A and B are shown apart, each in its own frame.
Chain A
Amino acid sequence: MTPRGDALARAMRVLLPCFTVLVLLYLTLPSILIVLMSLSDQTYLTFPPPGWSLRWYRTMTEDTSWPQAALNSFVVGVPAAALSVVLGTQAALALTRGRLRFAAIASACIVAPMLLPHVIMAIGLYPVMLDLGLLRSYTAAILAHAVVALPLVFIIVSASLRGYGESLELAAMVCGAGPCATFRHITFPMIRMSMAVGGLLAFATSFDELMLSLFLTGPGTRTLPRLIWEQMNAYLTPTIAAVATLVLVLSLVLLGAAALLQRGRIEGSAP
């Protein structure tokens, strides 16, 4: 190797890890900053905080609007996730096991809400919900969130179904299992971990969603992201950072649970 190529290789060995660390910092720094800012003893958002305290966490619980918004997030998120799991699994079954003529187009339509800007869906849904008299109701937010969370369930469950092929189900049928028995004894045990992972990610999606909530919820049904947004405009107190920190912790727990389930799924399945 030429001396020049040698120097380049040595430089790469140093530069690559540095670059990697920078990228990782860039990805995680905002989250770390939020946690630090929530521990400030000042009455405004600042970094770095001159002193430390936990008072903003107390303020958060004393102001009833925060616990109410958190509750709303669950009231919207849990049914939205459940709906996504049921519909997403059915769609995955139909498109991977059924021999449908327009399977590719149907797949694209199901996945589209994940890729389209939420604001477009929000603008489209607003008049529809208004007409139906559902605007500012939980139902409106649940339906809208289910639409954007469903693709996750669909993708994860489809991958799982493709992973083991249809011969297990055919074998069960030959053995005498009708469609329901085949689903109960074979398909469901094979995909339940993927359904659970999909459900967790669907809930996380709903829990994090702002745009649809801005358009479709009202003062009584507003979710945490929406309240954070409103408070950001009004007062920039570290309370917001405290709330954001809790949202962050919950999201991490959900992702951790999903990762654990995913690992169990892989270890528990056949080679």
Chain B
Amino acid sequence: MSSAARGAPLAIEGLAKQYGDVVALAPTDLTIERGEFFALIGPSGSGKSTLLGAIAGFVPPSGGRILIDGDDVVAVPPYRRNIGMVFQNYALFPHMSVFENIAFPLRLRKASEAEIRARVERMLAMVRLPGMGGRRSNQLSGGQQQRVALARAAIYDAGLLLMDEPLGALDKNLREEMQDEIKQFHRQIGATVLYVTHDQEEAARLSDRMAILNHGRLVQVGRSRDLYEAPRNAFVASFLGEANLFAVRHMTSTGGGLAVDTREGIPLAALRGPAGAINGAAVMACVRPEAIELARPGASGLDNRVEGVVDDVVHAAGTVRYRVRVGDGFAITVRRPSRLQAEDPGVGERVALSWRADDTLLILKE
């Protein structure tokens, strides 16, 4: 089986979909490289399935082009697009055996019986279901059914694989196991994968790059790390991980940085202004909980300093989350690695928070 070279590049130009007055997808441009694993994330109702459905051919777009390997497929019916797809509810054919489910696309392509047998057996081994071909799909566990769905989508060497929340129905541990398998599977087959999920951690683990959708609009595209470290706006900042957000009143240049005045009444020090800020656009300051250091009051700290009272302490899987009240109705979340330390501040104690100027991210409100 050949690898990498097999993936088909995907380009979307001005693709849009409206249902009456509802804009399910605003005109969207997106380019996905040959063989890339690309994740599409966003809250429920943000248009992820609509975009995937348009590429698969179930959702006729209101406008725009979809180029698979350079060919516009908008007018091509779904059964001639030669795309593979994995559905959230597996969509295995209940009246067929596992073998017949996987063989189905090959039978439609009039492959010989011998070829079908060989390819299905090889695929069964690849998804770690050897000898399971005779089973009915309803005799398999959720994870096994998903592997059959994966095998059926990949058996006909489609250059592009679409996956719509394929692990959404599985529990957490199984989901993580399947994520590793999907990643492995992608390396073996080399197809371009467009993977929809609402779980940002899953997207980060699996993908080379990702796009964030909100209200039918593509907000930002990039590597997981880029999106986390340089979120474009407040939505991206809080959708990917946790963020302490401050509403910015105005900013003044100081020697080598910015002095930021916030509505919360806490003066901040930052290094850079917001990327691509239009004059007059609302700006927010974002500080990640793990960038903040915790010390006794009065201790010398970093560029940004604020004191407060610990409101809540939660120990969870290796990290401690503190909520520190710093003034009227405003609390800052701090996350520190959990260590055997006697002097961890407890609820009601006064603490000093501090962080570096370059950890104050100035971003757009919208």
Contact = CB atoms under 8 A, between A and B. Distances in A.
A3 to B, nearest CB: 53
Interface stretch (B89-97, B293-301, B303-311): B89-97
B95 A271 contact: no
Interface of B: 56-58, 77-85, 87, 89, 91-95, 104-105, 108-109, 137-138, 152-153, 156
A174 B83 contact: yes
A172 B94 contact: no
A178 B95 contact: no
Contact of A175 (B57, B89, B137, B152): B152
A190 B96 CA distance: 11
Contact of B78 (A174, A185, A271): A174
A174 B95 CA distance: 18
Listed from nearest, the 10 A-B pairs whose CB atoms lie closest are: A270-B94, A171-B91, A175-B105, A167-B91, A174-B85, A173-B78, A176-B108, A189-B95, A270-B138, A173-B79
A186 B95 CA distance: 8
B21 to A, nearest CB: 15
A57 B94 CA distance: 49
Interface in A163-179: 164-165, 167-168, 170-178
Given A167-B89, A167-B91, A175-B79, 16 more contacts: A165-B89, A167-B87, A168-B93, A171-B87, A171-B91, A171-B93, A173-B58, A173-B77, A173-B78, A174-B78, A174-B79, A174-B84, A174-B85, A175-B108, A178-B77, A189-B95
Nearest to B56: A174
Nearest to A170: B58
Nearest to A178: B79
Nearest to B95: A189
B109 A176 contact: yes
20 contacts: A167-B91, A171-B152, A172-B93, A173-B79, A174-B56, A174-B78, A174-B79, A175-B79, A176-B79, A177-B108, A178-B79, A182-B79, A186-B93, A189-B95, A269-B94, A270-B92, A270-B94, A270-B137, A270-B138, A271-B138
Nearest to A181: B108
A190 B92 CA distance: 12
Contacts of A270: 92, 94, 137-138
B325 to A, nearest CB: 49
Contacts of B156: 175-176
B78 A190 contact: no
Contacts of A51: none
Interface in A249-271: 268-271
Nearest to B109: A176
Interface residues on A, range: 20 to 34
B94 A177 contact: no
A92 B87 CA distance: 24
Contacts of B153: 174
Contacts of A175: 79, 104-105, 108, 152, 156
A186 B93 CA distance: 7
B10 to A, nearest CB: 15
B104 A170 contact: no
Interface of A: 164-165, 167-168, 170-178, 181-182, 185-186, 189-190, 268-271
Nearest to B137: A270
Nearest to B58: A170
Contacts of A167: 87, 89, 91
Contacts of B89: 165, 167
Nearest to A176: B108
A162 to B, nearest CB: 15
Contacts of A171: 85, 87, 91, 93, 152
Nearest to A185: B104
Most buried by A among B58, B91, B137: B91
Contacts of B87: 167, 170-171
A176 B77 CA distance: 10
Contacts of A268: 95
A185 B107 CA distance: 11
Nearest to B82: A176
Contact of A172 (B56, B104, B138): B104
B154 to A, nearest CB: 11
A168 B79 contact: no
B87 to A, nearest CB: 5
A177 to B, nearest CB: 6
Contacts of B137: 270
Most buried by A among B81, B82, B104: B104
B91 A170 contact: yes
Contacts of A190: 94-95
Contacts of B138: 270-271
Contacts of A164: 94
